[in-house]
Amino acid sequence: MDEIRNEIMNIEKSAEKLKTLAKDNNAIRKNAEIILTFLYILKFITPATD
């Protein structure tokens, strides 16, 4: 599960960067935000237990 959590963090960094890069492009920015939505859920369903 640690590896999965790390990958989620990596994708989150990329999605945030994508959102910033696309600040003038509604379509790309919105899709980046949707990726972040699902990352919120991914983090929620992969909680650390220690």
What's the Rg (C-alpha) of the chain? 12
Query: CB of residue 47 vs other proteins: minimum separation in angstroms?
Result: 5
Q: How far is the CB of 22 from other proteins (least distance, A)?
A: 17
Task: Give least dist CB 48 to other proteins, A.
Answer: 8
DSSP conformational letter for 46: S
Q: Measure the CA–CA gap between 29 and 18, rounded to whole angstroms.
A: 7
Q: Which residues bind other proteins (CB under 8 A)?
A: 1, 33-34, 37-38, 40-41, 44-47, 49
